[in-house]
Amino acid sequence: MRGKRTYESVDLDLIELIIKGIVLAEKENTKKRFYDFLARKNLRLTSQRRVIVDTVFATEQHFTAAQLLQWSRARDKSVSKATVYRTLPLLTESGLVREMDFGKDYRFYDPNCADRPNHSHIICQDCNKIFEFESEEIEQLEDEVARKMGFSIQTRRLEITARCEVLRRFGSCKNMPPEK
């Protein structure tokens, strides 16, 4: 009998706590990387920039410029629209935030790309939520195709829109109701 180690009982609360701690530490580290980026470019760490960066890496959600402004101002009224719009290019330039383009009229930003720069997105047309996934196999195939065509890949962007199978079959799904 080829063994797989199993546990009689698991303290799920503890595990959740540990995971939360790890995520938090990663986010703190990401912020530090951005501060280094600023220093390297002789840019200053102002209170407004600190608030914006705190806000960006306090969430795992994809957000718009308008949302970031709203969230940042909730923390500190001294953050203005102009500063948000001037800070976003710095964040994307640093590689710690990725700009995403769905068919919409405004841009989305993704704060989860520090560790997983190549992840892809599935946008559910039923609930409008954005899900992330990674596939090493797809990446390898992309590399192969590109190489055959004489290119070496710089960035890749795979965005899939899809319908929820659970919803289609059972009339509802755990992600409903849609948020606007």
Partner DNA sequence: ATAACTGCAAACTGTTTGCAAGCGA
Partner DNA sequence: TCGCTTGCAAACAGTTTGCAGTTAT
Q: Helix (H, G, I), strand (E, B), or coil: what is residue 11?
A: coil
Peptide bond into 117 cis (omega under 30): no
Judged by CB under 8 A, the stretch of 54-62, 69-77, 78-86, 163-171 that binds a copy of itself is: 163-171
Candidates 7-15, 31-39, 80-88, 138-146; binding stretch for a copy of itself (CB under 8 A): 138-146
The neighbouring-strand residues paired with 122 are: 131, 160
Q: Applying CB under 8 A, does 168 fall inside the site for a copy of itself? A: yes
Distance CA 66, CA 90 (A): 17
Which 107-146 residues touch DNA, going by CB under 7 A?
107
- C-alpha 28/C-alpha 106 separation (Å) is 28
**Which segments within 17-129 are labelled E, that is strand?**
98-100, 108-110, 120-124
Is 40 one of the binding residues for DNA (CB under 7 A)? no
Stretch that binds DNA, among 19-27, 41-49, 118-126, 168-176 (CB under 7 A): 41-49
Residue 45 touching DNA (CB under 7 A): yes
Rg of the chain over all Cα atoms, to the nearest angstrom: 20
64 lies in the binding site for DNA (CB under 7 A): yes
Q: Which listed residue (26, 54, 76, 142) binds a copy of itself by CB under 8 A? A: 142
Which of 23, 25, 28, 46 is close enough to bind DNA by CB under 7 A? 46
- The owner of tokens 């914006």 is 52
The pair of three-digit structure tokens given for residue 21, joined into one six-digit string: 């701690």
Contact call for residues 124 and 164 (beta carbons, < 8 A): yes
Residue 163's closest CA among 125, 116, 120, 112? Answer: 125
Does residue 135 touch a copy of itself according to CB under 8 A? Answer: yes
Binding of DNA by 79 (CB under 7 A): yes
- Site residues (vs DNA, CB under 7 A): 38, 42-49, 64-66, 78-83, 85-89, 105-107
**Residues at the contact surface with a copy of itself, assessed by CB under 8 A:** 99, 101-103, 122, 124-125, 131, 133, 135, 137-138, 141-142, 145-147, 149-166, 168, 173
